[in-house]
Structures are given as structure tokens and as C-alpha cells.
């Protein structure tokens, strides 16, 4: 497998993955139909990494290999030895890990803004959760319409976890400052607001309050 060595990288578009096979000498290999023809990815006695990674990838996918060899078998166009570095590429031609990192970074640095209407809707949903809790624990109706005081009441009596109560109050305050003070939330405030609301919804769903 050392003859006809071709230095440098080669990129294949893998279309189908065949069954893993073994030579008479006990060397495993995996045949894949690619845009360049039939390619064999090799493994060794103590090195099955490349075969294992290829087998679980959904086709079609693009992979970059370094090094690669011309095959000694007539049925194969190329061989990818077990010590080759293989790297899966996304549609942009970037490594999949880099594409995910860029997408994750973009989603964190440029979050979608939250409108006043969306915050008002979150407040209405919080009130429904508070109504459900008060009904569950037979709390007498009060003339106090302050959502914050109702949340505090439930929290002080351990009907509502303190951390969830704190997030609810933060969400209602965010609505108040955007509604009455025309505040525009910063990117970090948007991220924090969405994260708080996710936690509140998760808790409410778990406890049966919607």
C-alpha cells in the first residue's frame, strides 16, 4: 500500500456506503461509491477510527482525505489508508465543526430582537401560570392585581420555586420598561430574556401549568 503515493489532499463526495469487508490477511476496509468512483477506506488491527466515522455518516456527504493512494485493486479507484486524516465538509466547503461553530456564534451575537408585543404576550402567559397556581393551592382572590406581588406570595409559601419566581419577575419588568419607557433591549438582554422564558416554560410544562 505504499506505492504510487500521491501527496496532498483529495476530496470525495460519498454517495453510498457498502458493507465492511476483510482481506485474507485480516485487514478491514469499507467500500464507498463516490463521485470519483469506488473508494476503499482502510482500517488496521488497532485502528478502526476512519471506518467507524464513515459508517455512521448519512449520505451523501463530502470528506477530505490526506494522504490517499492509487489502488492496487482493479475494482477500487483510490485507497484511503487507516492513518489518513479525514475531515467532513459542509455545503460551504468548510469543516462541519467550523460551520457549526460559525452558526452558533452568529446565533449568539445577532439574536432576533424581542418586540413589545412579544413581551406582552409572555406577561399574559405568566399571568395564566400564576392563575393556575393560585387555583391549585386554593389561594383566595385578592384585590391586588400586581403580578409581581402575586408571584412573590406564591414563592414565599414555596408554591413556586424561588429561581423561577425571580425569572418571572425579570420578564415582567422587561415588558414594563419596553412598554412604558420605550426601552430597546440590548443583545445580551434579549438572550437573557429568551433564556429566562425557556426555563419558566419548561418548569410550567413539567408541573402542568400552562
User: Could you give the percent of the chain with pLDDT greater than 90?
Assistant: 23
In the predicted model, is pLDDT for residue 3 greater than 50? no
Same-domain pairing of 89 and 123: no
Domain boundary among 60, 89, 108: 108
**24 and 72 part of one domain:** yes
Whether 46 and 23 map to the same domain: the answer is yes
Query: Average pLDDT for residues 7-16, to the nearest whole number?
Result: 83
- Cα(148)–Cα(8) distance, rounded to whole angstroms? 65
- Note whether 89 and 169 are within 8 A (CB): no
Distance CA 205, CA 163 (A): 16
Same-domain status, 176 and 98? no
The answer, yes or no, to whether residue 206 has pLDDT greater than 90, is: no
Is the same domain home to 72 and 135? no
CA 186 to centroid of chain Cα atoms: 24
| Of 16-20, 72-76, 114-118, 201-205, minimum mean pLDDT range | 72-76
133 and 195 in a single domain? The answer is yes
Q: 28 with 51: CB under 8 angstroms? A: yes
Same-domain status, 36 and 128: no
Domain stop point among 80, 108, 136 = 108
Q: What are the φ/ψ torsions at residue 208 (nearest 5 degrees)?
A: 85, 25
Domain count, the chain: 2
H-run or E-run covering 168:
helix 162-180
Task: For residue 206, give the nearest of 161, 156, 158 by alpha carbon.
Answer: 161
Looking up residue 47, the CATH number of its domain turns out to be: 2.40.50.140
Pairing of strands 61-66, 85-89: antiparallel
Which is more confident, 74 or 6?
74
Residues 72 and 121 in one domain: no
| Residue 181: pLDDT band with limits 50, 70, 90 | confident
Lowest mean pLDDT among 27-31, 110-114, 117-121, 151-155: 110-114
Expressed as residue numbers, the domain containing 63 is 5-108
Amino acid at each position: 500500500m505504499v506505492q504510487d503515493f500521491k501527496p496532498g489532499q483529495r476530496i470525495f463526495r460519498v454517495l453510498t456506503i457498502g458493507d465492511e469487508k476483510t482481506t485474507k490477511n485480516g485487514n478491514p476496509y469499507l467500500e464507498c461509491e463516490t463521485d470519483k468512483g469506488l473508494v476503499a477506506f482502510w482500517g488496521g488491527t488497532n485502528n478502526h477510527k476512519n471506518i467507524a466515522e464513515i459508517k455512521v455518516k448519512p449520505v451523501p456527504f463530502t470528506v477530505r482525505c490526506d494522504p490517499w493512494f492509487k489502488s492496487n485493486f482493479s475494482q477500487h479507484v483510490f485507497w484511503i489508508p487507516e492513518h489518513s486524516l479525514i475531515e467532513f465538509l459542509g455545503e460551504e466547503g468548510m469543516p462541519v465543526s467550523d460551520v457549526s461553530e460559525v452558526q452558533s456564534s452568529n446565533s449568539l451575537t445577532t439574536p432576533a430582537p424581542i418586540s413589545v408585543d412579544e413581551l406582552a404576550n409572555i406577561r399574559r402567559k405568566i399571568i395564566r401560570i400564576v392563575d393556575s397556581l393560585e387555583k391549585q393551592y386554593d389561594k383566595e382572590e385578592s384585590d391586588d392585581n400586581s403580578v409581581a406581588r402575586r408571584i412573590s406570595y406564591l414563592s414565599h409559601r414555596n408554591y413556586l420555586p424561588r429561581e423561577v419566581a425571580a425569572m418571572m419577575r425579570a420578564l415582567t419588568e422587561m415588558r414594563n420598561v419596553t412598554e412604558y419607557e420605550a426601552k430597546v433591549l440590548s443583545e445580551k438582554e434579549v438572550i437573557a430574556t429568551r433564556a429566562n422564558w425557556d426555563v419558566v416554560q419548561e418548569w410550567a410544562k413539567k408541573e402542568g401549568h400552562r
